[in-house]
Chains A and B, each alone.
Chain A
Amino acid sequence: VSEFEARYQALRNRFLLRCAEDLAKLEAAAVDLTAAEPQALRLTVHRLAGASGTFGFPELGAIAGEADDALITGPAGAGPQIERLIGALRETLAVD
């Protein structure tokens, strides 16, 4: 299990680096969601919804899940959920 823990921590650190990249993508998309590429935005958010809990961030995952649901009908109506996800990502990266 100790070898597992070491490898898990390395993957968790890499996940956090990717969260920083995702934050930048979401901030850029949030400037004008009507111009955002729907599929790319959905994949970014869906990834966060699926992975965050596994790496110890269940609340971030839940907020990403809400944004993922909101994006089903397209980015234009998902502004509040994307803003909330941006806030949760900023908080996660500031704390961890």
Chain B
Amino acid sequence: MNRALNILYVDDEPDIREVAAIALELDEGISTRVVGSGREALEALREPGYHPDLVMLDVMMPQMDGPATLAEIRRMPGLERLPVIFITARAQSHELAGFLALGAIGVITKPFDPMMLPVEVRAMVVRAGP
């Protein structure tokens, strides 16, 4: 089994976050919690005892988008270096560079291939290092 990887997946689109969760868990080492907004993600991260290894953030969400959520995460004590991957349906190269500049370890573009999603995520985590 691969190294255990506990992921918080944040997307306002229920179909996508659920398919992402079942796809990620094709990798037996991955456990996934899904939430539907940036605000819910921040609430989850404030829960005592909840320490995900990685947050996957949809870029375009109502109220609080992915970049705004990441900015809030970075302000939370102890989460300054928590790895984050953005998920986006908009994937022009200058936008990808912008997302990485915000401190994400990677960007996954939608539509994603469910069977490849855990592989892509693992590769990004390995590239980001310990």
Contacts and interface: CB of A to CB of B under 8 A. Distances in A.
Contacts of B62: 39, 43
B60 A46 contact: yes
A8 B19 contact: yes
B24 to A, nearest CB: 11
Interface residues of B, number: 18
B94 to A, nearest CB: 14
A52 B23 CA distance: 16
Contacts of A55: 15, 19
B65 to A, nearest CB: 11
Contacts of B16: 50-51, 54
A61 B111 contact: yes
B37 to A, nearest CB: 13
Contacts, number: 52
Nearest to B109: A50
B82 interface: no
A23 to B, nearest CB: 15
B110 A50 contact: yes
Contact of B13 (A4, A51, A58, A61): A51
Interface in B38-58: none
A43 B65 CA distance: 12
Interface of A: 1, 4, 7-8, 11, 14-15, 18, 39, 43, 46-47, 49-55, 58, 61, 65, 68
